[in-house]
Amino acid sequence: MLGQMTILDADSRHNMDMAPTTTPAGTQAVSRAAAVLRAVSAAAPEPVSSARLAATIEVSRPTAHRIAGALAAEGLLDRVASGWLLGPELYIMGSVAARRFDVSADAAEHLRAIARATGESVFLSARRGDETVCLLREEGSFPLRSMVLHEGIRFPLGVASAGLAILSMLPDPERAEFIAAVDLEPGWGASHARGELAARVERARIDGYAVNPGLIVEGSWGIGVAVMDGEGRPAWALSVTGVESRFRPERQRELGRVLMAHAHDLSQRLARPSRSSDRS
């Protein structure tokens, strides 16, 4: 079983034994296993070594290797010569979960239309807690492309344009609470200090679209717009990325208008009660 104690090292078992009685047994094991799966997913399609897993989830290499091995035994990971890949059991689970959560069929036509209209690479990202994860990509016709985003990559809210867009559309108390609590500067640099983040989010609220001015990779710009779920909350984002020379102020506004129009249409589509029956 995925939650078996065999995937815990001695230190982990000791820590769990010393944990408060209100902490469910196996919680740390499940959390670490989930962290491993997320790390492998974020690196896809490249394999992830046990050493890299250990550094990513901040455990020893033997512990990371044991967790990955236990997941592989359940079919959730695959072992290859250079590391670990997502396993076949995840595909089966994902196919079932897609009936409830997948929006790619609805979004794909919008990504294609945006790519045709702008020539830029276009992405659909989803909010997962305090992160965004890229779900879908459509290449534009312009020969120079930004390679910052790919399917499966995750960023904290407030880093990439998709996360900024989602953050800007959260209710005031939630947005303020996130900005007050998060500290992106150590991992992402001074441009992501709390004051800088708050200013970019406020700008996005005014404009209706969020701009990432090459803050992840120099010269690679992005613009994102939030997509709302049926309750009017920002759950996804459409974004475009490209080289700085194609993101001058006037074109930013043009790209923003294109994204906002498609985000509005997609939000309306996803909010329709009959959405699931439309594809049955």
Of 92, 124, 139, the residue at which a domain comes to its end is: 92
Strands 154-156 and 210-212: unpaired
234: in domain: yes
Residue 173, domain extent: 102-278
111 and 234: one domain?
yes
Give backbone dihedrals phi and psi of 123, rounded to 5 degrees, phi first.
Answer: -135, 150
Of 62, 92, 122, the residue at which a domain comes to its end is: 92
* CATH number of the domain encompassing residue 9: 1.10.10.10
Measure the CA–CA gap between 6 and 53, rounded to whole angstroms: 18
85 and 124: one domain?
no
Distances (CA, A) of 68 to 2, 33, 89: 11, 8, 14
Q: 164-168, 217-221, 264-268, 272-276: lowest mean pLDDT where?
A: 272-276
Measure the CA–CA gap between 31 and 216, rounded to whole angstroms: 28
Q: Which of 46, 126, 117, 115 is nearest to 83 (CA)?
A: 46
* CATH number of the domain encompassing residue 122: 3.30.450.40
Q: Is the pLDDT of residue 113 over 90?
A: yes
156 and 75: one domain?
no
Distances (CA, A) of 32 to 28, 147, 170: 6, 29, 29
Count structural domains, the chain. 2
134 and 169: one domain?
yes
* pLDDT band at residue 246 under the 50/70/90 scheme: very high
129 and 88: one domain?
no
163 and 246: one domain?
yes
Per-residue pLDDT reduced to its tens digit, 151-209: 888 999 999 999 999 999 999 999 999 999 999 999 999 999 999 999 999 999 999 99
- pTM of the entire structure? 0.67
The mean of the pLDDT values for the chain is 85
130 and 228: one domain?
yes
119 and 163: one domain?
yes
Per-residue pLDDT reduced to its tens digit, 121-148: 999 999 988 999 999 999 988 877 666 7
73 and 173: one domain?
no
Q: Is the pLDDT of residue 221 over 50?
A: yes
132 neighbors 155 (Cβ within 8 angstroms): yes
Of 41, 70, 92, the residue at which a domain comes to its end is: 92
73 and 13: one domain?
yes
273: in domain: yes
97: in domain: no
58 and 181: one domain?
no
